[in-house]
């Protein structure tokens, strides 16, 4: 509360410095918030494209695997899947977007040539190959979706954190500091008026005392002159 602040010029200067610092911090955070929102909107558009692609790849993969099962049988499909020896490898790195660290997921050994799938060219059919191709595409879409969705989540969290800081400065700290500043300025003005009034009273009292001394001196001089006149007349 403003009443808890001592109304001194030192405190006034400190509060003015804090207001200046808080205003500059508020402007910086607003710029960061706006920049984050723009980056988030770009990622959101990308996420929508990735989701659409993921759904399309899933539908294609399901269609291909169902066709392979119908034409080749579950045993042949499961046998081809079990023959896989090299599984996809996932590595994660990070990148910085407006001060927010987001993951960058890289994959390898997802898409394979026919001779890399383990079941052999002669041990499969075109339907199984097409299903394998479709699922490799689906895995890559899943990896990309995971990267984009995680980045979007982290960006959204940072936007919310930045918004809370902006609001705290704008609606709490700065109003309190300005209230304290106004309170101190008002008290200092009152003190200044009281001091001026006190000095005027002192000055008026001093002038009255000087006038009284002058009147007393004049009376004494007049009395002395009268005494001198009486003495001369006696002579």
Looking at the predicted structure, is the pLDDT value of residue 219 above 60?
A: yes
Q: What is the pTM (predicted TM-score) of this model?
A: 0.71
3-state secondary structure of 121: coil
Q: What share of the chain is helix, strand, coil (3-state, %, to 5)?
A: 80, 10, 10
Q: What percentage of the chain exceeds 70 in pLDDT?
A: 89
Question: Is 183 within 8 Å of 7 (Cβ atoms)?
Answer: yes
3-state secondary structure of 124: coil
Looking at the predicted structure, is the pLDDT value of residue 87 above 80?
A: no
Mean pLDDT along residues 11-18: 94
> If you average pLDDT over every residue of the chain, what do you get?
86
Positions of E strands within the chain: 89-97, 100-108
How far are the Cα atoms of 27, 77, 123 from residue 114, in angstroms, in the given order? Answer: 58, 15, 11
Report the range of poorest mean pLDDT among 2-16, 27-41, 53-67. Answer: 2-16
What's the pLDDT at 120? 61
Cα–Cα distance for residue pair 82/61, rounded to 1 Å? 18
What's the pLDDT at 229? 65
Radius of gyration, CA atoms only, the chain: 45
């Amino acid at each position: 509360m403003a009443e808890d602040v001592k109304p001194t010029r030192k405190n006034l200067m400190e509060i003015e410095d804090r207001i200046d610092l808080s205003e500059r911090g508020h402007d910086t955070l607003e710029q960061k918030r706006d920049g984050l929102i723009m980056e988030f909107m770009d990622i959101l558009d990308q996420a929508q494209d990735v989701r659409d692609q993921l759904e399309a790849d899933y539908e294609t993969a399901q269609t291909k695997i169902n066709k392979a099962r119908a034409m080749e049988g579950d045993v042949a499909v499961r046998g081809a899947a079990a023959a896989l020896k090299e599984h996809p490898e996932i590595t994660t790195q990070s990148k910085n977007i407006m001060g927010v660290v987001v993951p960058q997921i890289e994959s390898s050994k997802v898409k394979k040539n026919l001779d890399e799938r383990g079941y052999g060219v002669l041990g499969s059919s075109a339907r199984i190959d097409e299903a394998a191709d479709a699922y490799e595409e689906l895995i890559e879409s899943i990896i990309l979706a995971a990267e984009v969705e995680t980045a979007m989540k982290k960006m959204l969290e940072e936007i919310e954190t930045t918004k809370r800081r902006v609001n705290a400065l704008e609606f709490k700290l700065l109003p309190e500091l300005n209230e304290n500043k106004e309170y101190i300025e008002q008290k200092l003005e009152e003190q200044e008026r009281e001091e001026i009034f006190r000095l005027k009273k002192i000055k008026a009292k001093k002038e009255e005392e000087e006038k009284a001394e002058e009147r007393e001196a004049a009376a004494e001089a007049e009395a002395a002159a009268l005494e001198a006149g009486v003495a001369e007349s006696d002579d």
